[in-house]
Structure 1
Amino acid sequence: MILAIALVIVLGTAAGALAFGRRATADMTSWAVGGRRFGTVIFWFMNAGEVYTTFAVLGISGYAWALGAPAYLAFTSVSLSYAIGYWLMPKIWQAGRRHGLITQADFFATWYSSQWLGVVTAVVGIAALVVYVQIQLVSLSLVVRLTLGSTLSPDLAVVIGAVLMLAFVMLAGLRSAAFSAGVKDVLMVVVVAVLAVAAAGAVGAASPLDIFRIAEEQHPGIGKLPGLDPTSPTTSVWLMTSALNVALGNWVFPHLFQVSYSAASATSIRRNAVWQPLYSLAYFFIIMLGFAALIANTQPEDGNLNAALLQFVADEFPAWLVGLVAGTAFLLALAPGSVLLLTSGSLFARNVVRPFRPGLSDRATLRVSRVSMVCFAAVAVWLTIGRQDSLVDILLSAYSAIGMLAPGVFLAFLWRRTSAVAVLLGIVAGFVALLAPFAKDFWADRMPEWEPGLIAMAVNLVVVVAASAASPRRESPVAEEEAVAR
């Protein structure tokens, strides 16, 4: 029954996605940015679909089960992200429409009048996206084992998950992902609401809210930072710096650049930014489910916190509900994961291959994009196999990487003097501060509990500003054109 219900949900959604996007594969604009025609409703689901993934359900509930209060990171980071997005996303949309941009690297190459900077930022963006794909593969492998049986090898489950994701993204590009995101979001709300009510009865609570009282009685301090582990670095400083790092890096991710390009108008973007923070209230119930799993003494295989919610559901609820959760979890990974791979392929084809093959046709570029997605999925599988990192930790690693592009994006709209060379120097300095062998211990001694990605982003910003100020004054012609238009 679990497998049957999950298959009905996934295959039904795939069929609807194919029908919705069947004409969206003819060229790169339709394939990658949905023809730039997404109105308020479709853009809502497309945008929310990239924010509410398996990280939101499995990652945050697992963090609540293992640590407690640090899971509140989800509330703070989403609200901050939309406050920034209200200002930034319409600017990205305007630049994309005026200059016919398709990828994030197109923006860097055009705005800074530097094709080589487009190549560099494309490589950085692809690296961050591949790390982000890990989140979806880890989650897919858990759901595959839930539906097919725990006797299935975890490594084989990861491979099966990657195959499913590739099959899904080959359907019809961004339009199919938008349809899938809509179905997924509706199912997520239904599943979370049903589980919230049912979980109270499963753990002997008088109501869903009573779960928090019982969790505090059984595990004193679970609702306060640093959480269940008093030695954990997840203090209030960690929460603030991590939330700020996520918020500043969120709209800098290449796939969310392309989502911004897909909107039909700036009004659609702003309406979503105003109302979507309310959508983050779903995290309240997701964290509650993590606490319920802890109260029920749920023990996922090998203590894997990412599997805590799925194990709790499998232990406490009937097969039909387990199947509903499994099918929804498949979509939570497949819809965002397909967009991540699609964006990686678009970046590689347009901004890594095409600069060296300027005569490449649009159709050939589309083929290169699709083939490269298979390679990037294989790399993500290789990075995922044999590891059990928390989904939250993987997410923060991805944000640390993409944060190296944030100063170049924000300064493009704030300071017209910012130069391509300065952006490159900032990226290099930021990655040294983040990845150098001495970096981890150096920052831990001097700025304990700070999110390393935010520190590296600050180093990056200082270098970009200093290098731009020290170089001869030369404003980007595109920046001047945008300023005149405004």
Structure 2
Amino acid sequence: MALGIAVAIVLATAVGAIGYGRRAGARPTMVNWAVGGRRFGPLLFWFMNAGEVYTIFALLGISGYAFAMGAPAYLAFTSVSLSYALGYWLMPKIWRAGRRHDLITQPDFFAARYDAPWLGVVTGVVGIAALVVYVQIQLVSLRLIVDVALGGALPEWGAVALGAVLMLAFVMTVGLRSAVFSAAVKDVLVVVLVVGLAVTVAARVGAASMLDVFRLAEERHPGIGWLPGLQPEAHTDTVWLMTSALNVALGNWVFPHLFQVSFSARSATAIRRNAVWQPLYSLSYFFIVLLGFAALLGGVRPTEENANGALVQLVSQSYPAWVVGVFAGTCFLLAMAPGSVLLITMGSTFARNVLRPLRPGLTDRGAVAASRLAMVALAGVAVWLTLRDDSSLVRILLYAYAAIGMLAPGVFLAFLWRRTTAIGVLAGIVAGFVALLAPFATGFWSAALPNWEPGLIAMGIDAVVTVAVSLVTRPPGEAAVAVGVPVAAQEREEAR
């Protein structure tokens, strides 16, 4: 029964997404394919943007972190709220640059703002690498769902491969417009599911109410609700929380897929409205942390001691088959809706910013075809990575944010400082990656700045080097600078 319900949810959503995309879409140009024709109003943009609040990471990663670590899972609350405070300022600027200069991908922005097509290639490669890791999060989660909730209905490699195939199927024919349909379905399902589980879970783990779950968890596991949580040796103290939250907030809108989501909006007003209300939507992380604590009270023992599967195990052992089926089907959508957007972004970035500089005569139709082929190849890379690594979902996410954070100074300075140069941005990226990945880096930063998130340290070094090198190199021309810092006449025209 569980397998049948899960399959029905996924197939019905896939058919609806493809059908909606075909009806709403136009001819397969890169604009329609990659940014939905730039026509998403407040409601559709809400669902696309909410896809970043409710992913499979939110449900399994945060509940698993609460199960294994306790209070460090509060990172979800702080990072999301900070992210949208920044997004209120940054996303409309990204949207304006995209609309004014016909940009489709994040590397398009770098190439135009810094008058350096080669910088578009560099940032495209960095962005693709970070997004492959992000796709890995979705596939690791799908493997858990199949293994635990669906009783190992498929071998491990089969579950991961199936997840990649379904992500591709959601968007292969239509692009971003089909992804927004699946995002809407999964958002409705996950809110109903999370609230339903939170309301009923107390009775299943011996607690009198939802709040009593927290009381019992603290009673049986002293310190679970306070930093550093259940594993003091992990050094997850207040310094870790603040620096990790800042790293996530500064890196969030720098992810290439969120640039493309910003480009898809119909207006800057739609973006700002979402930035105001989305933090309230993320308060439902309270219920997800609650479920992680409940799994601990319920004596859950995840397969192979993998905390990522704590909530999956709790639902599987405590609820009837039909609930398990709805849970599994919703989790599939939580992975596939955001995952499909990630694949579209990687494919369009490869076609426009890696392949097109090598093939200047590439047509728009050819770019769409190349994007589809790149999606398949990059999904294969993500499958390979997933089969080699079963790290904590939070840890994998922080790896992705550390990598993409190297582009953050180039994005923020593009809108803040007219003097920023392409050579400065490149030098900053190189310095940041050295600070992050050099053999000496881990030990050195642990001693110099205990418990700091390494990604934030590397981002700070990146920013300092970018500014220093920009001061001694030639700035881009006025037309390029205006992509990020518009002249007064343009600002007045947009205000009208």
Fold-level match, TM-score > 0.5?
yes
Q: Which residue of 2 aligns with 1:420?
A: 422
The residue correspondences of 1:249-260 to structure 2 (distance < 5 A) are: 249-260=251-262
SS at match of 2:389: coil
Structure 2 CA distance for aligned equivalents of residues 414 and 242 of structure 1 = 24
CA contact under 8 A between 2:420 and 2:475: conserved in structure 1? Answer: no
The residue aligned with 1:13 is 13
Q: Is contact 1:84–1:247 with CA below 8 Å preserved after alignment?
A: yes
Matches within 5 A, 1:81-480: 81-146=83-148, 148-150=150-152, 152-472=154-474, 474-480=476-482
Alignment check: 8 A CA contact 1:155 1:386 kept: no
Letter in 2 for 1:463: V
- Assess if the C-alpha contact under 8 Å between 1:411 and 1:418 holds in 2: yes
1:342-401 deviations in whole A, cap 9, x for unaligned?
100000000000011111110111011000111111111111113220000000000000
Cα distance between partner residues in 1 of 2:295 and 2:150? 22
Residue 31 of structure 2, aligned match among 29, 32, 37: 29
Please state how far the C-alpha of 1:204 moved relative to its aligned partner: 1.6
Whether contact under 8 Å (1:24, 1:34) holds in the other structure is no
Gaps of 5+ in 1: none
TM superposition shift of 1:445: 1.0
Sort the Cα spacing of 1:245 and 1:119 in 2 relative to 1 into closer, same or farther, 3 A: same
State the distance in 2 between where 1:136 and 1:413 align. 32
Counterpart of 1:294 in 2: which secondary structure? helix
Shift of 1:452: 0.4
State the alpha-carbon separation in 1 of the partners of residues 242 and 351 from structure 2. 37
In 1, the alpha carbon distance for the partners of 2:399 and 2:52 equals 17
Distance 1:476 1:433 in 2: 33
SS at match of 1:231: helix
Report how far residue 146 of structure 1 moved.
Answer: 3.8
Structure 1 window deviating more from structure 2 (265-274 vs 228-237): it is 228-237
Alpha-carbon offset, residue 31 of structure 1? 0.6
- Distance in 2 (CA, whole Å) between partners of 1:216 and 1:171 is 50
CA contact (8 A) 2:179 2:340 kept: yes
Q: CA deviation at 1:473?
A: 5.1
Q: Which moved more, 1:376-385 or 1:92-101?
A: 376-385
C-alpha separation between the residues in 2 aligned to 1:174 and 1:323? 27
Q: Decide whether the 8 Å contact of 1:45 with 1:178 is kept in 2.
A: yes
Give the distance between the partners of 2:186 and 2:126, measured in 1 at CA: 29
- Counterpart CA distance in 2 for 1:199 and 1:46 is 30
Q: Using the alignment, how far apart are the partners of 1:425 and 1:410 within structure 2? A: 16
Cα–Cα, structure 1 residues 206 and 147, in superposed 2: closer, same or farther, change >3 Å? closer
Unaligned 5+ runs, structure 2: 492-496
Contact 1:31 1:172 (8 Å CA) reproduced: yes
Rounded to whole Å, the distance in 1 between the matches of 2:442 and 2:27 is 44
- Is 159-168 or 404-413 further displaced after alignment? 159-168
For residues 298 and 257 of structure 2, what CA distance do their matches in structure 1 show? Answer: 38
Q: What percentage of residue pairs aligned between the two structures are identical?
A: 68
- Rounded to whole Å, the distance in 2 between the matches of 1:315 and 1:476 is 63
Report Cα offsets for 1:184-225 as digits up to 9, x if no partner: 011010000110011011012111111000100010000001
- Tell me the distance in 2 between the aligned counterparts of 1:86 and 1:279: 15
Deviation at 1:25, TM superposition (A): 5.9
Flag the 1:473–1:108 CA change in 2: closer, same or farther, 3 A.
closer
TM-score by length of 1: 0.98
Task: Provide the residue aligned with 1:3 in structure 2.
Answer: 3
Q: Matches of 2:256 and 2:329 in 1, distance apart? A: 27
Q: How many residues align?
A: 486
Whole-angstrom CA distance in 2 between matches of 1:376 and 1:119: 17
The 1-side partners of 2:205 and 2:150 are apart by 27
Q: Deviation at 1:229?
A: 1.2
Q: In structure 2, do the counterparts of structure 1 residues 3 and 30 end up closer, same or farther at CA, with 3 Å as the change threshold?
A: same
Q: Which runs of 4+ in 1 moved over 6 A?
A: none
Kept in 2, the 8 Å contact 1:417–1:475? The answer is no
| Partner deviation per Cα, 1:139-170 (whole Å, 9 max, x = no partner) | 11112224542374323322222222222231
2:227 partner SS: coil
